[in-house]
Amino acid sequence: GAVVSQHPSWVICKSGTSVKIECRSLDFQATTMFWYRQFPKQSLMLMATSNEGSKATYEQGVEKDKFLINHASLTLSTLTVTSAHPEDSSFYICSALIGRRTGEQYFGPGTRLTVT
Amino acid sequence: RKEVEQDPGPFNVPEGATVAFNCTYSNSASQSFFWYRQDCRKEPKLLMSVYSSGNEDGRFTAQLNRASQYISLLIRDSKLSDSATYLCVVNRGTGNQFYFGTGTSLTVIP
């Protein structure tokens, strides 16, 4: 089946620093990837839709200057959390759209970010 | 009103039991419906798509009711390994963006 990887799986950083998270589709090309955030005991919340070769589409309330998304190739999308603060601590998950017609997604294993 | 609503549970059922979850959605233009399974601290994994005529995959049966705007998931002969959170996912109309329900927690007890 389709495999999506994320790196790093876990990161701790100090407040004010920036963190880059990579999302890769390993055995297929993904023109569309999604970035989600999940707080404990809550559901996934879509942050942005990343389209290869174009600007990401951000959800209402998500600061595009704080969460920088780059989808430079058909197999890689990156999310950079700039000037991270403790409230940014969360589980960040990416997914790749497998079936444009069916809408099926395959998710990466997630990145747990802790900002101290 | 939330775009997708699920009963968070928890549902605690004995092994072998049959359990059903419902999920309602508010966007009548939604075209794609899915059930995902998420284990604790793991990523969601696609369990099954939900088709208009209903579909079955082993012990799992999914149904769609467009008139009432809900989808359901039925699990028969529950196994311990079925313990997880089940997420209802609905697309936004015809676009490639999706709403997630908050998930229904299932624990199957020996």
Please give the Cα distance from A76 to A52 (Å, whole number).
Answer: 9
Give B99's contacts in chain A (Cβ within 8 Å).
46
In one-letter notation, the amino acid at residue B65 is N
pLDDT in tens, B12-24: 999 999 999 999 9
Among A59-68, A85-94, B40-49, name the one with the lowest average pLDDT: B40-49
The residues in A 56-85 lying below 8 A from B, measured between CB atoms, are none
Share of chain B above pLDDT 70, in %: 95
The residues in B 2-31 lying below 8 A from A, measured between CB atoms, are 31
Give the pLDDT of residue B72. Answer: 96
Is residue A27 very low, low, confident or very high in pLDDT (cuts 50, 70, 90)? Answer: confident
Cβ separation of B34 and A108 shorter than 8 Å? Answer: no
A60 burial via Cβ count (<10 Å: 0-12, 13-18, 19+): exposed
In one-letter notation, the amino acid at residue B101 is G
Cis omega (within 30 of 0) on the bond before B10? Answer: yes
Residue of A nearest to B6 (CA): A43
Give the pLDDT of residue B95. Answer: 62
- In sequence order, the 6+-apart residues with CB closer than 8 A to the CB of A60 are none
Average pLDDT, chain A: 90
Give the pLDDT of residue A35. Answer: 95
Give the pLDDT of residue B59. Answer: 97
Give the pLDDT of residue A101. Answer: 62
Among A11-15, A65-69, A101-105, B94-98, name the one with the lowest average pLDDT: B94-98
- Give the long-range contacts of residues A66-69, CB within 8 A, separation 24 or more: A67/A35, A69/A35
Q: Which residue has the higher pLDDT, B92 or B69?
A: B69
Is residue A104 very low, low, confident or very high in pLDDT (cuts 50, 70, 90)? Answer: confident
Is residue A52 very low, low, confident or very high in pLDDT (cuts 50, 70, 90)? Answer: confident
* Contact (CB, 8 A) for B86 and B100: no
Please give the Cα distance from B37 to A91 (Å, whole number).
Answer: 17
